[in-house]
A and B are shown apart, each in its own frame.
Chain A
Amino acid sequence: MTQKNSSQSKPTKKAETKKMSGAEILIQTLVDLKVDTIFGYPGGVVLGIYDVLYKTPKLKHILVRHEQGAAHEADGYARATGKPGVVLVTSGPGATNTVTGIATAYMDSIPMVVFTGQVTSSMIGNDAFQEADIVGITRPITKQSYLMRDVSQLSQVINEAFHIATTGRPGPVLIDLPKDVLSEQTEYKKPEKIHIRGYNPTYKGHSQQISKAAQMINNAKRPLLYVGGGVNTGNAAEELRALAKKGNLPVTTTLLGLGAFPEDDPLSLGMLGMHGTWYANMAIMDCDVLVAIGARFDDRITGRMDTFSLNSKKIHIDIDPSCISKNVPVDIPIVGHVKEILPELTKSVKVANSKEWLESITKWKKDHPLRYDQTDKEILPQFVIETIARVTNHDAIVCTDVGQNQMWSAQFFKFKHARSLLSSGGLGTMGYGLPAAIGAKIGCPDKTVFCITGDGGFQMNIQELTTAVKYQIPVKIAILNNGYLGMVRQWQELFFGKRYSQTILQEGNPDFIKLAAGYGAVGMRIEKKGDVESAIRESLKINDNPVLMDFIVKREEMVMPMVPAGASLTEMIEGGE
């Protein structure tokens, strides 16, 4: 690519020797890296960058209404597209506002590059206006971070940052840009090949380990694949399907693994863990060979650790060696990229001798299905989610908040496609849903994008409704409005004697319909079960504006089944009618 896009208007023949400012180099480098969208918010020290952006229309800048929104939108964009999300904010409060968004991305291994402005180099450390040590603040939640000192290194560092963010186990990388570095002039050099001595992530799995694993699977009577977010981020859904089909291996996924294996497949057991299906949890406790693929044995998955899947031999495929044997001892570790390893494994896997096992799983599924009271006259949140799934033919991208709305979405949507559930799994960030949906829709304009949220979480980044209205981003917002901080209330009901301490939101809640109108979005309130489907269908017709659907749902419905915190997976509360 040439520099025709650089902002200097004076025509010069000798483009190679032309000097550019740090800000221009930043934008040029992003264009060269084929970045199409950045999410940001301007401020004092980054004015220079915004001036260059003004002259670079082909790089789309989405003006958010709060920097946390920018980080979540970039995250949603990244999860939906697989491309790194890019954030640009100013120093001090601009930078610190991104922290929750960066931590969310870090916990879920989402590629992201965050550019923060910084005060002039000579002022750093002087407690200058809008100064914050953002590199220090974000150190534990970034894969790598840089404070730029020298403009001549800028392009190289940006390329390095994108490389680190997107390779190995992906994650956020932060580049802090002092004001003087942005205005300094230098020659723009195309970056050299990236070589970082200490950074060589392993992609190819050890072949001996793979054949040992295949043998173990082939000898299994009760094999189970336990699939995590790594298969979604690693774009290996096809490869997973091939393995499961060839070996006739049942599959359960984590929250972030949903979509990596179609839930309508007879081999699918849905999600496991704290609010997983009864049959997935029984299967993981009962299996004799457990194959963890891009998953990390999180505490929400294992329940009480010393009772977890005691009778199984464990194979663990992961790109991050530090995930292996961190929580659960593993018999055959395979370090590498799932997309490389799964096909190798599939080659040597035969149909497992597991007929009896599959039969008992089928029986479990029949005897202990996910369920809710279909006859209830009130709107049940599960019903809303099932209706959204049916109307969109399970083909929408669903962005959730955290809590009941998230768990019901995970249980009842029945995901079929990779990268179709975007949810803050590791950090559990309320307020994630709406901005993530905006980012996802920008990244995938042809997809229908739903934000399934609660009346609590929605209000945590409500300002982003403006962003959606301003850019005419037609996300569908389904508020499952129960007037409670629902999941916390559920715990209070079950474990704290129904003392609903600070979890009743109803009296304080705004009128969401008026609120939508105030923002310029379309609002609908749905109070009758019979209106649920028509409202959802109506929302799908609106293509130039966000739609807010305020579903007034049964207030004290609980997410079931449930493994109480610290209990074994076999101690599930099934609930139900």
Chain B
Amino acid sequence: MKHTISVLFENKFNAIPRIVGLFSGRGYSIESISFGQGEEPGLTRATITTEGDEQIIEQIAKHLHKLVDVLKVVDLTFEPFVERELALVKVNSTPSNRAEIMQVTDIFRAKIIDISPKTLTIEVTGKSDKVNAAIGMLMQFGIREIARTGSVALKREYQGNM
């Protein structure tokens, strides 16, 4: 099953390679991984999506936690959490299909951020499955290049009382 793990760590020399190396060295899979500055200078948050049964995920979390530079490891999978991914998709476009592409873009609440006589570049954000769906719909026009960030995620705080 797919898991989303959030790791907060001191971004010292060698910290990122240690996190990534743990996965390759112990044979765990990484579906996506993203790094960005955390809530304090010097802290980085990684969001890792990985596959594995309960025992493997437990081992992953423990080994991540064991790394000297790691402060906090949370497996968000079984908690309510918010998750977003951003993708830039460059598709072939001609004057004749430009309107159609823009329509698809609108449906996914995506944005066109670059245009050339032969291409459009579209920015899509959302949960990974939405990004996948948008890319799927854009496929028919001919995709030239894709750049995706991988998921970033945080635990959802307000859980409502309905």
CA A140 – CA B18 in complex, angstroms? 8
Q: In this assembly, does B127 line the interface, its C-beta being within 8 Å of a C-beta of chain A?
A: no
B62-A198 in contact (CB<8A): no
Q: Which residues in A have their C-beta under 8 angstroms from that of B25?
A: 140
Within 8 A of A (CB), among B12-31: 13-14, 17-18, 21, 25
Given A322-B63, A325-B58; A198-B69 close (CB under 8 Å): yes
Given A147-B14, A197-B10, A197-B71; A321-B65 close (CB under 8 Å): yes
CA A569 – CA B82 in complex, angstroms? 49
B59-A198 in contact (CB<8A): no
A198-B9 in contact (CB<8A): yes
Q: Which residues in B have their C-beta under 8 angstroms from that of A139?
A: 14, 17-18, 21
Q: Which of B14, B59, B65, B68 contacts A143 (CB 8 A)?
A: B68
B21-A144 in contact (CB<8A): no
In the complex, how many angstroms separate the beta carbon of A311 from the nearest chain B beta carbon?
Answer: 21
Within 8 A of B (CB), among A467-506: none
A135-B9 in contact (CB<8A): no
Interface size classification for chain A: 20 to 34
Q: B62-106 vs A: 1/0 string, CB under 8 Å? A: 110111111100000000000000000000000000000000000
Q: In this assembly, does B55 line the interface, its C-beta being within 8 Å of a C-beta of chain A?
A: yes
B71-A198 in contact (CB<8A): yes
Q: Which residues in B have their C-beta under 8 angstroms from that of A54?
A: none
Q: Which residues in A have their C-beta under 8 angstroms from that of B17?
A: 136, 139
Chain A, interface SS category:
mixed
CA A145 – CA B14 in complex, angstroms? 8
Q: In this assembly, does A1 line the interface, its C-beta being within 8 Å of a C-beta of chain B?
A: no
B14-A326 in contact (CB<8A): no
Q: Which residues in A have their C-beta under 8 angstroms from that of B55?
A: 325
Within 8 A of B (CB), among A233-285: none
CA A197 – CA B66 in complex, angstroms? 12
CB-based nearest A residue for B12: A146
B13-A198 in contact (CB<8A): no
A164-B59 in contact (CB<8A): no
Q: A405-417 vs B: 1/0 string, CB under 8 Å? A: 0000000000000
Q: Which residues in B have their C-beta under 8 angstroms from that of A322?
A: 59, 62-63, 65-66
Within 8 A of B (CB), among A164-218: 164, 196-199
In the complex, how many angstroms separate the beta carbon of A344 from the nearest chain B beta carbon?
Answer: 23
Q: Which of B14, B21, B58, B70 contacts A198 (CB 8 A)?
A: B70
Q: Which residues in B have their C-beta under 8 angstroms from that of A198?
A: 9-10, 67-71
Q: In this assembly, does A320 line the interface, its C-beta being within 8 Å of a C-beta of chain B?
A: yes
CB-based nearest B residue for A324: B62
A199-B62 in contact (CB<8A): no
Given A135-B14, A145-B14, A325-B58; A320-B66 close (CB under 8 Å): yes
CA A143 – CA B63 in complex, angstroms? 12
Q: Which residues in A have their C-beta under 8 angstroms from that of B62?
A: 321-322
In the complex, how many angstroms separate the beta carbon of A427 from the nearest chain B beta carbon?
Answer: 15
In the complex, how many angstroms separate the beta carbon of A203 from the nearest chain B beta carbon?
Answer: 15
Residue among A135, A147, A322 with most chain B CB within 10 A: A322
CA A139 – CA B68 in complex, angstroms? 12
In the complex, how many angstroms separate the beta carbon of B29 from the nearest chain A beta carbon?
Answer: 17
Q: Which residues in B have their C-beta under 8 angstroms from that of A325?
A: 55, 58
In the complex, how many angstroms separate the beta carbon of B132 from the nearest chain A beta carbon?
Answer: 33
A196-B66 in contact (CB<8A): no
CB-based nearest A residue for B26: A140
CB-based nearest B residue for A146: B13
A139-B17, A320-B66, A321-B66 given; 18 more Cβ-contact pairs under 8 Å: A136-B17, A139-B14, A140-B21, A146-B14, A147-B13, A147-B14, A164-B68, A196-B68, A197-B10, A197-B71, A198-B67, A198-B68, A198-B71, A321-B65, A322-B62, A322-B65, A325-B55, A326-B59
Please list the 8 inter-chain residue pairs (A to B) with the smallest Cβ-Cβ separation, ordered nearest first. Answer: A322-B62, A198-B71, A144-B68, A140-B25, A199-B68, A198-B70, A321-B62, A322-B63
Q: Give me 8 A-to-B residue pairs in the complex whose CB atoms sit less than 8 angstroms apart, sorted by A's number.
A: A136-B17, A139-B17, A139-B18, A140-B21, A144-B68, A164-B68, A198-B71, A326-B59
